[in-house]
Amino acid sequence: EAQVTQNPRYLITVTGKKLTVTCSQNMNHEYMSWYRQDPGLGLRQIYYSMNVEVTDKGDVPEGYKVSRKEKRNFPLILESPSPNQTSLYFCASSSLTEVRSYNEQFFGPGTRLTVL
Amino acid sequence: DAKTTQPPSMDCAEGRAANLPCNHSTISGNEYVYWYRQIHSQGPQYIIHGLKNNETNEMASLIITEDRKSSTLILPHATLRDTAVYYCIAGFPGANNLFFGTGTRLTVIP
């Protein structure tokens, strides 16, 4: 089954304790992206990647890091989490093979992060 | 990317067609119209997209006006499982970021 998986699905942590949220897709997609969703603010892009070893900042990258060492994986790293990073996080992927399908993004189930 | 305007909420009776409008009066010639939905707090789900012509797939139909300033997503026979927030997005196909906005909360009523 074609899917995007995220782990963990729920996480409660404390300020300053480094954490990683994993994202993996099995569709051989070139494009992957991380979003955060907060009430009243919609989905905002954190980082994206057009292919292996190619990453770039989205709209709200501060406090986050990413890496793309393999095509299927795109982990989100919070080196020193703070309470304002409490949010619902989504990973997404899409194919860049056909222009028409560029924005047909497949989303993961989400990771709900609470930073105390 | 062009900004889109959607009503904040709509109701639809179960079994009836749900028609969700979207205004995108500043859309440019190469921008597509994309529709996604988000059920509760699940990941958004792609529904359909189009450029000029009307489109239909197994989930929905997309009707785009001739001047492309507005569009309507049609769910032909709404079910309770279609209750969700629906996002209309205008964007270039090569764009790396889709602006989701706040969408329309559709409630399907039994």
Quick one: what percent of chain A has pLDDT higher than 70? 97
Return the SS3 of A99.
Answer: helix
Q: Tens of pLDDT along chain B (110 residues)?
A: 678 999 999 999 999 999 999 999 999 888 899 999 999 989 999 999 999 989 999 999 999 999 999 999 999 999 999 999 999 999 887 666 788 888 999 999 99
**Per the CB < 8 Å rule, is B93 touching A103?**
yes
pLDDT for B46:
93
| Cis check: omega of the bond before A109, within 30 degrees of 0 | no
Is residue A100's pLDDT more than 90?
A: no
pLDDT for A110:
97
- Give the residue with greater pLDDT, A97 vs B41: B41
Q: What is the CA radius of gyration of chain A?
A: 14
pLDDT for B95:
65
Chain A residues inside the 8 Å CB shell of B99:
42
Sequence-ordered list of residues with C-beta below 8 angstroms from that of A1, at least 6 positions apart, any chain = none
Euclidean distance between CA atoms A82 and A103, whole angstroms: 31
pLDDT for B1:
66
Euclidean distance between CA atoms B5 and B102, whole angstroms: 9
Q: Nearest CA to CA, how far is B54 from chain A (Å)?
A: 15
**Per the CB < 8 Å rule, is A105 touching B98?**
yes
Place of tokens 């989905």: A43
Count CA atoms within 13 Å of residue A34 on its CB side: 29
- A27's tokens: 């569709």
Summary mean pLDDT of chain A: 94
Which of B8, B59, B64, B80 is closest to B31 using CA atoms? B64
Q: With bands split at pLDDT 50, 70 and 90, how would you rate the model's confidence at A71?
A: very high
**B-contacting residues of A 20-79, CB under 8 Å?**
31, 33, 40, 42-43, 45, 48, 50, 56, 58-59
Q: Nearest CA to CA, how far is B46 from chain A (Å)?
A: 6
Is residue A5's pLDDT more than 70?
A: yes
A98 at interface of B, judged by CB pairs closer than 8 A = no
